[in-house]
Structure 1
């Protein structure tokens, strides 16, 4: 009983698995990664809070408690959790649509959203729904990420140009910027451009330099000493000092109804994004296993507890995780050190951020999201498969022009439609025997190398046979029968690719066999695998078709049709075996 309890504890708190095995050799990498990511979190947290439409301090709150909770509950030892651009943008676009009365209501709703997202993720984790992340195909993720990066970048142009724009709609933002371009604050613009150039220059000099933090420090010093009038540059202003206090989120049934669509989208998107990052890290190191269901529970717990300390929705950050790995992080101790860095900043350093220009935060975000726009991937999709390219485009355009949540929903729905289309119209091949060999290949691929007999039609169906495609199969088969004409005597179905036959398909197969018999044509099945043979027996198809017409291989069905050689005892046994 004690051992079962320990195993369960380790399952829900993976830190109990790796912490007792911690080695001194890990400390240098963990410490270096923790300090670097902690320094990154400070400007990024404030910048992502601005994306979410919140005061910058809430970005630091979101960088603190959720990251701490994930250290204890996450199954990935290198994932860096905190505020991320994509989730922040979803929060902003969703809350803007709710038309909340004032900033206090807006903040309360953002905090409640973190709680709600956490509850959904936690429930999904306990229900073992981690497999749902598999429904986000790479074209959907690629189109969504590239469009979201553009949306995030466009949303920050108002800070870059120093304009007052109160919309989160991408097209409206572009129109507003064009309409107000004459009102550009050239101090903000110059500082923003300079910040981008410095960040890119430092990254080119040495990619591990904390370029964002360097720019933040330099800009604060510059504004503090050289700004004559505080209205010349848009600055962050007063940031509260101290750790976040415990505060229960305010909610009621009306809030739950309003927040539900956004919370569901966020819970699903955040989990899929986190698992994509976690799996990529795991594949590179192969030091541990990332459990999808535990990740759901960990992210859910992080968001729930984080919301109790005034955090908005958080997730795994791609750039911070990459830095964490590059700096040599081995365990969650690196994230623990990052938490300490953010905590020290909240306790002692927030007054220094008073003079931080908003355009610098905008510049940090623009540089960060630029790397998320992948121009090579759609070209690759165009070469490999047009349907997946269209899936990428649909997701991209929906996300860009309609909205973040709608983009991911449309992408998933469109990918499911593609899946349905593929399964309802799978590949069908008419086979012929390669001359001198026992190979049976597609006539269209080997037109000059196959032997064809007018009395035999061989067909291969490359999918499971069920209600969605059995009528397509029936039409295709009967069409080929009609082409063969009156000389046709045998139809051989190569059933090797068929791993399932449902009740609808069973009934239709019986009708096909009956129709063929009316024309003195014998229907044969060859190569059925074990699960399919079980269905053939249980459904009565074996008796209906005739045991003598079930074969182990297509070659045997073909030879028997031509030469009437029958089946050996072992061939009979193998062809009809079932559980």
Structure 2
């Protein structure tokens, strides 16, 4: 889950919102289109069937959306201007979906719009609970379905976690990935005894829940209790519930998830992150949701490699008479022409060490008076095996050019690793300084 960056999550949520929105258009227009997972096929089918739309269905869906938007945006301001207490305003404004469901069902039932004008309704819903059964653990089935089951569990968790993290960020809360995994696993094991669908955190249902003002898991418990009562005794009441009203509820809910403001902010701050957002968005929109989010993760990792392949390298000098050393391009500093002090602001690994080696060799080739090269390691948290090999080759090349190599401000874990493989003794402990200030003072005396 740590590989799901904010750009990946935001791009996935925005594209998924569009997919869900277009999947509801057929109910809003009262048209029939074939079931497809392709966004382009869905859009094409909608345009082809749009001349056959049901006007009454469209009007009913449009009124549902208008009522929901008024409850979300206008009603609260109106009630506040009339001096209504906040404790009353909040439940009233959040009751929009419930009122839409009740009102539209009454209208369709009273005027028989399903029979007279072909308005599609939910229809007959079976009563009661599914029977408890033992899951089939046949070995042949396990071999046949094992790979698919792993893929479903992986994608289901990623979708649930990304939706949860996105909604939690709106309230400045955190989602624990391990706890989410345990919860989803427990729920799916339980569902296997009732023949249920694989359980995950659905985007549309989560957003409707969030839009209704849910803040804790108690909302889901209350929902479950009401679902139990509904399945047992209230299913006949939903016969006349028009599908267009349900589509309106979902469209209004997912409309709030279009997160293009994040794309704008990322483009201004870091264009590589913006590219990750766009890549995830396009992948989810034009492939499938599970493939899209995996593609987004790979794009994010690839761009991370690109970003770290050319680490920031600064030539540093002393700031006044202090012990501080800063970039010569940013601060007025004092340098010594015979000492080249370079700070690398990135861990060294196989992707970027050749770039560092070429950069340093080019500097010492251009500045013939350099006698000492000091590598400031304050920004280096790791030196992998490939980087260490490159570093040793660099030291040998510098030695052949008559230039001595030194280190300063090596972090403890990095020093331990270097010491473990004998690099410290080979270089010489006297060539590794605790601070850059100490190194520059001693090397300046030698000059």
Q: TM-score range by the shorter chain?
A: 0.7 to 0.9
Find the counterpart in structure 2 of residue 107 from structure 1: none
Instruction: Structure 2: state its 5+ residue gaps.
Output: 77-89
What is the aligned counterpart of 1:484 among 363, 367, 370?
Answer: 367
Distance 1:527 1:479 in 2: 24
Deviations along 1:369-418, one digit per CA (max 9) or x if unpaired, are 00111221111111111111111111111111222112101110011112
Between the aligned partners of 1:323 and 1:357, the Cα distance in structure 2 is 20
Quote the Cα distance in structure 1 between the aligned partners of 2:282 and 2:390.
42
Question: CA separation of 1:403/1:181 partners in 2, compared to 1, >3 Å: closer, same or farther?
Answer: same
Residue 79 of structure 2 corresponds to none
Residues 1:174 and 2:43 aligned together: yes
After TM superposition, the structure 1 = structure 2 runs for residues 173-192 of structure 1, keeping only pairs within 5 Å, are 173-192=42-61
Instruction: Give 1:155's aligned residue.
Output: 23
Q: Following TM superposition, by how much is the alpha carbon of 1:249 offset from its aligned partner in structure 2, in angstroms?
A: 5.7
The one of 415, 420, 444 aligned to 2:329: 444
Change (3 A) 1:466 1:333: closer
Is the 1:140–1:408 Cα contact (8 Å) retained in structure 2? yes
The 5-angstrom pairing of residues 82-231 of structure 1 reads 133-166=1-34, 167-204=36-73, 205-206=75-76, 207-208=90-91, 209-227=94-112, 229=115
CA distance in 1, matches of 2:386, 2:180: 39
State the SS of the aligned residue for 1:534: helix
Structure 1 pair 315–405 and aligned structure 2 pair: CA distance change class (3 A): closer
Give the deviation of 1:267 after TM superposition: 2.6
Tell me, yes or no, if structure 1 residue 421 matches structure 2 residue 306: yes
| Structure 1 residue 556 corresponds to structure 2 residue 445 | no
TM superposition shift of 1:273:
3.0
Match of residue 209 from structure 2: 320
Quick check: 1:472 aligned with 2:355?
A: yes
- Cα-Cα RMSD: 2.4
Question: In structure 2, what is the Cα distance between the partners aligned to 1:463 and 1:364?
Answer: 49
SS of the counterpart of 2:31?
Answer: coil
Tell me, in whole angstroms, the C-alpha distance in 2 between the residues paired with 1:248 and 1:299. 19
**Mapping 1:372-383, distance limit 5 Å:** 372-383=257-268
TM-score normalized by structure 1? 0.68
Aligned match for 1:305, one of 190, 195, 199:
190
Aligned to 1:401: 286
Q: 1:176 to 1:292 in 2, by over 3 A?
A: closer
Aligned mates of 1:179, 1:324 — CA distance in 2: 38
Q: Give the total of aligned pairs.
A: 421
Q: Which residue of 1 aligns with 2:390?
A: 508
How far is the alpha carbon of 1:194 from its aligned partner?
0.8
Q: CA deviation at 1:303?
A: 2.3
The answer on 1:361 being equivalent to 2:246 is yes
| Secondary structure in structure 2 of the residue aligned to 1:429 | strand
Structure 1 position 246 matched with structure 2 position 132 = yes
- Are 1:271 and 2:161 matched, yes or no? yes
Q: 1:220·1:353 contact (CA, 8 Å) conserved in 2?
A: yes
- Deviation of the 1:352 alpha carbon: 1.1
Q: Deviations over 1:283-318 (max 9, x none)?
A: 55xxxx965323211111112313433432334424
Question: 1:519 aligns to what?
Answer: 401
Corresponding position of 2:378 = 496
CA contact (8 A) 1:510 1:544 kept: no
Deviation at 1:192, TM superposition (A): 0.6
- The one of 364, 370, 390 equivalent to 2:275 is 390
CA distances 1:354-378 after superposition (whole Å, capped 9, x unpaired): 1111111111110110011122111
Residue 520 of structure 1 aligns to a residue whose secondary structure is coil
CA contact (8 A) 1:506 1:539 kept: no
Higher RCO (CA < 8 A, seq sep 6+): 1
| Closer/same/farther in 2, CA of residues 403 and 334 from structure 1, 3 Å limit | closer
Aligned partner of 2:256 among 368, 371, 383: 371
Give 1:260 deviation, angstroms: 4.6
CA distance in 1, matches of 2:188, 2:170: 23
Q: Residues 61-100 of structure 1 correspond to what in structure 2 (within 5 A)? A: none
Unaligned runs of 5+ in 1: 1-132, 566-579
Contact 2:157–2:200 (CA<8 Å) still a contact in 1? no
8 Å Cα contact 2:10/2:166 also seen in 1 = no
Q: Distance in 2 between matches of 1:422 and 1:482?
A: 26
With 464-473 and 356-365 compared, the bigger mean Cα shift is at: 464-473
Q: CA deviation at 1:496?
A: 1.3
Taking structure 1 as reference, are residues 179 and 249 closer, same or farther at Cα in structure 2, changes over 3 Å only? farther
Q: 1:195 to 1:279 in 2, by over 3 A?
A: closer
Which of the numbers 411, 420, 430 marks the counterpart of 2:296? 411
Partner in structure 2 of residue 350 of structure 1: 235
Q: Residues 510-549 of structure 1 correspond to what in structure 2 (within 5 A)?
A: 510-549=392-431
Aligned partner (choices 339, 344, 359) of residue 461 of structure 1: 344
Alpha-carbon distance between aligned partners in 2 of 1:503 and 1:153, rounded to the nearest angstrom: 50
Tell me whether 179-188 or 208-217 shows the greater mean CA deviation: 208-217
